[in-house]
Structure 1
């Protein structure tokens, strides 16, 4: 009997969280191996043997090691580890999902990552001073430029690439939800489609959605104290 694929992740990482949701929804045998980024476990020699880039997420399937979220999604789909609805087999439907996954890197992911890094991650770890209000505003504007693109280009239907939720939605929503740690909330008046889409993703993925955000929400509450 073959061993389960091992999935290395940290739910603090939005890319890990999006893939974690896809695996939970797929309900296939997976060995979940948490890696605590806050404890720098990804930088250990032991983890370097798992992923030479020393990042999460990563998977190990027998002797095969793989990093990078999109590569992992494609591999797991071809191995039958993902629900076909989340990553379709149809060439055109899959291409639409891939289109968003490729687009989001330099758009919604970049903007949200910069916000998370500069407003929370670096200051809390003593790597940079708390940003000034004008810098925070610049970061928000970067995020909202991309929320506007989601509103205008990607959300013509209920989900990003049609009427059915896919991994594109899980990945995109995870990036935006990361900003909850800094108490950022999508403005429903400015971005009504985005706000409703996030609600649909949450409804479609719970209880895993809220479980995956538990650490983010805890840190957000601590920051308020």
Structure 2
């Protein structure tokens, strides 16, 4: 089985962590989003959506991280706590997975691009009002994550880590890669982060986030010309 990944990407990190944690055998196929390799002819044969992550299992190809996570959980019969058979726990997980796309995913990604990639790689100044608005949106999503989804539970679905926590933690970490400490002043979020990290294992957690947390330094070494053809699309999306 092949997994097409770039660990700069939050959904790619969730799939990478899940497969690695559960000892699922896979071949890591690196596709550089920053160099636009997802638009190459070869990757198009794997995923016409042109996004990461992607999976190829024999002749079967699959896109979208949530679909891939569920496929892996079911095919490899991973421990029940990841996606419990219990109706109510599963409903809580599905609720979070349905909400996160246009909430924490969108706002965390936007901060990463506005604070780091757009000014440092694309060379475009980001107006302060854009940054302020994006931060306000992110703060709103983080507040909901704490008050609605985590509440006073150890994890989103109860006493054990689940796919919801895995998908959530990689999103919450994304703006951290731009130098924004989202855990400052949020003891509940910080304590949840620590529990998730322990459940995943610090070594695997750090491995998955190494590229992201080194992004501020690595962008200074990037060949920025490779991203210029993506510039109009990126600015339209985030500016």
Give yes or no for contact 1:119–1:130 (8 Å, CA) kept in 2. no
Any idea what the Cα deviations from partners look like across 1:55-76, whole Å, max 9, x if unmatched? 1001011111110111112222
**Distance (whole Å) between structure 1 residues aligned to residue 33 and residue 189 of structure 2:** 29
How many residue pairs end up in the alignment?
219
- The residue aligned with 2:67 is 71
- The residue aligned with 2:237 is none
- The residue aligned with 1:168 is 164
Query: CA separation of 1:29/1:84 partners in 2, compared to 1, >3 Å: closer, same or farther?
Result: farther
Any idea what the Cα deviations from partners look like across 1:42-100, whole Å, max 9, x if unmatched? 11100100111111001011111110111112222221264432222334332321111
- The residue aligned with 1:150 is 145
Match of 1:201 among 190, 196, 201: 196
Match of 1:219 among 194, 215, 218: 215
Q: Mean alpha-carbon deviation: is it higher for 133-142 or for 65-74?
A: 133-142
Give yes or no for contact 1:115–1:139 (8 Å, CA) kept in 2. yes
- The residue aligned with 2:181 is 185
Correspondence list, 1:1-225, <5 A: 5-80=1-76, 82-126=78-122, 129-156=124-151, 157-189=153-185, 191-205=186-200, 206-221=202-217
2:43 alignment partner, SS class: helix
Q: Mean alpha-carbon deviation: is it higher for 159-168 or for 128-137?
A: 128-137
2:159 alignment partner, SS class: coil
Give yes or no for contact 1:28–1:81 (8 Å, CA) kept in 2. no
Q: State the 4+ residue runs in structure 1 displaced beyond 6 angstroms.
A: none
Give yes or no for contact 1:25–1:83 (8 Å, CA) kept in 2. no
**Distance (whole Å) between structure 1 residues aligned to residue 166 and residue 62 of structure 2:** 20
Query: CA separation of 1:210/1:110 partners in 2, compared to 1, >3 Å: closer, same or farther?
Result: same
TM-score, normalisation: structure 1 = 0.89
Give yes or no for contact 1:51–1:67 (8 Å, CA) kept in 2. yes
User: Could you say what the CA RMSD is over the residues aligned between the two structures, in angstroms?
Assistant: 2.0
User: Where does structure 1 lack aligned partners over 5 or more consecutive residues?
Assistant: none
